Amino acid sequence: MSVQEKKLKHKEDSRSKILAAAKKLFVEEGIEATSIRKIAKEVDISPTTIYLYYKDKRDIVYALHLEGCSLLRTRMEVLMHVDHAFERLKAIGKAYLSFAVTEPGYYELMFMMKEPMQFLDDHGGEDYWEEGDRVFEMLIATIKDCQQEGFFKGMDVQTLSLQAWSTVHGMASLFLSGHLKQLNNLLFSEALEAEFLERTFQLYVSMLERIK
């Protein structure tokens, strides 16, 4: 490995450590309560070192948001090869829920905290939202393909896509916040929380099938 390659790897490793520490603190303590100094302490580096990579805390928030969107996009892209559009729609929904369950730190920062959206508002939005757009465009394309198969006739694609996302997001948010656990105890005390999440998703799928 050349000297230049070693320097590049060191920078990439440092960025990864900073982002991992920031994500942990943002979820545990909240973004407002997390300072650059706290992040630096978590990584065992000086605060000034962080400023070599990120200009401020909001820059770190945005970097994590992009990283999470990229991970979610990767999980969804492989499903775009599913020929049956309605089956693909179900698979996308399951992949989204799986991402929320297995990557709660990213999910909460991407979809349950206001700071990433504030960053986008302050920086013009569209030019900084490319990863998010690519994820939502896959859902829109799948809804369009579902209409070609006879589903959702006469319904507005954009509105239905937003409704589908909002519904599955609601399930994920209830799961991560602990509300789903309480509902599970109330309605199905014998079921595991993950099983209740699956039941809830299947009920949503059944409702979509009736729209055909």
Crossing angle (nearest 10°) for helices 157-177 and 193-210: 170
Instruction: Please write the tens of the pLDDT for every residue from 68-79.
Output: 999 999 999 999
CATH architecture classification, 57-210: Orthogonal Bundle (1.10)
pLDDT tens-digit series, residues 69-123: 999 999 999 999 999 999 999 999 999 999 999 999 889 888 888 777 777 777 6
pLDDT at 146 over 70: yes
Residue position matching structure tokens 């580096």: 45
CB 99 within 8 A of CB 75: yes
Q: For residues 107 and 173, what is the distance between their CA atoms, to the nearest angstrom?
A: 9
What does the pLDDT read at residue 181? 72
b/e burial code for range 34-72 (CB count within 10 A of at least 16 → b): bebebbbebbebeeeebeeebeebbebbbbbbbbbbebb
Q: What confidence category does residue 1 fall into, taking pLDDT thresholds of 50, 70 and 90?
A: low
**What three-state secondary structure class fits 114?**
coil
Let me know if domain 1-54 sits in CATH 3.30.1360.120: no
User: How is 5-54 classified by DSSP, letter by letter?
Assistant: HHHHHHHHHHHHHHHHHHHHHHHHH-TTT--HHHHHHHHTS-HHHHTTT-
> pLDDT (tens digit, 9 = 90+) per residue, 160-178?
999 999 999 998 998 888 8
Task: Tell me the domain boundaries of the chain.
Answer: 1-54, 57-210
C-alpha to C-alpha distance for 5 and 45, rounded to whole angstroms: 22
